[in-house]
Amino acid sequence: MLKSWDINLRQSEKKTLVSFFILYAFFTIVLLLFFAIYYYNTQKDLMLQSKRLGLSTLASEQIERLKEVHVNFDKTKRYPRDTRFKSAIYDSTYHKIFSLLDHDADVDLNQDIYMRGNKIFFIKEPEYYYLGAKYVVIEVKDSGIWKQTVYKNLVIYGGVFLFMMLAMGYFLMHLILKPMKEAISLLDRFIKDTTHELNTPVGTILSNIELSENTHLDEKLKKRLARIKIAARTISNLHQDLIFLTLENKIISKNESIDMKALILERLEYVSLFLKSKKIQTKTRLQEQVFLEADRNKIVKLIDNLISNAIKYNKINGSLEVILSAHHLSIKNSGRGIAKEKLSQIFNRYERADKSVGGFGIGLSIVSKIAEEYHLKITIDSKVNEYTEVQLSW
């Protein structure tokens, strides 16, 4: 499914999807945490309630001992101790009378039972204030067994809940995306069908033009025929681009060692009519013996797109400079240039820096995909109304 999105969805849409899913997961986790805290506190309260009776008995025993000390205070002044718990006594104004607790300053006398750290505190108010004690505090260590059960349940049920919520989110995301995916799929089908239907007429036009070139024609007619040929080749290129786009994942590369100089000269010859029609001066500096290991058809497509862009976005009487060196190819035109803020987006599909010129904005998207396949680094330098230079290095 994701592979299909990769083909159909643009980067910004994928970013939106990721953002949506992160936000959904975040709120799910927040909700889960809220329930986890609530469950933990409920279980803690239940545990404390179950301990209440036992602690109350211990406190009563301690009160009885305090009574003994109170009655015989002049004879014995030893505070009663018990190995099962620690204790303390406070008067009615919360002043400590005596304490065996580790942190007697933190005792909350307003509660009757509570937990702090791994200790349970129980506070009992005796009927009579033996030794002046209005509050008798009993402190016992919590075994922590209930916590293990709580954590186990939280991991199991929390995990199931999280999984279910994420699955639901995934389903929801599909539901939201369905209309958009259908629209994209319709567009894709339309492009594929159009591409298929264009094949025969474009082929027919080009073959007939080539046949007519061999016949005797007057100059006026020859010029007209040349213009038709340029137009037909433009359509043919577009057709090839569309085929590449629709079949990009199905084309298996047949790599070979390509003589780059010969290939560039061949492609310049191919667009010569186009260059001539715009009166563009071509300058070339092509180094011999430069070879690139790649699929010839793909490199042809790459160079065709770069050159045709350099012509398309050039001005009448402009210039085109092609330089080839050992690991570098530069195609520079004297065109209208591209604004800096648009440079980073021009490799996106259907993105066009200049909408005044025809096209779907798929050329550079194809260039970027081919370059990516063969690890070719593309850099674009441009100055508005002056030039655009595309550099390929490998």
Partner 1 sequence: MVKIVVLILSLFIHLHASVYQDNCVQCHQKLPVKIDKFFYRYLLKYSSAIETKYAMKLYLLNPTKETSILNKALLNRFGVKQKTTLSEQQLDEAIDEYWDIYKVFGKLK
**Which residue among 29, 32, 115, 131 contacts partner 1 (CB under 8 A)?**
131
**Which residue among 53, 83, 93, 385 contacts partner 1 (CB under 8 A)?**
93
Contacts of 361 (CB under 8 A, 6+ apart): 348, 349, 350, 351, 352
* For partner 1, the closer CB: 130 or 387: 130
CB atoms within 10 A of CB 223: 12
Closest contact distance (angstroms) between CB of 41 and partner 1 is 33
User: Collapsing DSSP states into helix, strand and coil, what is residue 108?
Assistant: coil
Beta bridge partners of residue 380, listed in sequence order: 390
Interface with partner 1 includes 91 (CB under 8 A)?
yes
> Cα separation of 324 and 392, whole Å?
10
**Which residue among 35, 39, 40, 129 contacts partner 1 (CB under 8 A)?**
129
Do residues 132 and 91 touch, judged by C-beta distance below 8 A? yes
Beta-strand pair 96-99/113-116: unpaired
**Which residue among 9, 48, 133, 202 contacts partner 1 (CB under 8 A)?**
133
The residue range among 1-9, 130-138, 187-195, 235-243 that interacts with partner 1, by the rule CB under 8 A, is: 130-138
Interface with partner 1 includes 104 (CB under 8 A)?
no
* For partner 1, the closer CB: 104 or 389: 104
Closest contact distance (angstroms) between CB of 97 and partner 1 is 6
* For partner 1, the closer CB: 61 or 321: 61
Phi-psi region of 385 (alpha: psi -120 to 50; beta: other; left: phi over 0): left
Return the structure tokens found at 57.
């008995």
Size of the site for partner 1 (CB under 8 A): 21
Do residues 382 and 343 touch, judged by C-beta distance below 8 A? yes
Interface with partner 1 includes 78 (CB under 8 A)?
yes
Return the structure tokens found at 327.
């690991």
Contact track, partner 1, 36-75, x by CB under 8 A: ---------------------------------xxx-xx-
| Residue 96, H or E segment | strand 96-99
Interface with partner 1 includes 215 (CB under 8 A)?
no
Interface with partner 1 includes 109 (CB under 8 A)?
no
> Cα separation of 258 and 347, whole Å?
25
Interface with partner 1 includes 191 (CB under 8 A)?
no
Looking at residues 280 to 309 of the shown chain, list those that interact with partner 1 (rule: CB under 8 A): none
Interface with partner 1 includes 26 (CB under 8 A)?
no
* For partner 1, the closer CB: 128 or 171: 128
CB atoms within 10 A of CB 381: 14
| Residue 148, H or E segment | helix 145-213
**Which residue among 75, 84, 95, 220 contacts partner 1 (CB under 8 A)?**
95
Single-letter amino acid, residue 270: Y
User: Collapsing DSSP states into helix, strand and coil, what is residue 119?
Assistant: strand
**Site residues (CB under 8 A) for partner 1?**
69-71, 73-74, 77-79, 91-93, 95, 97-98, 128-134
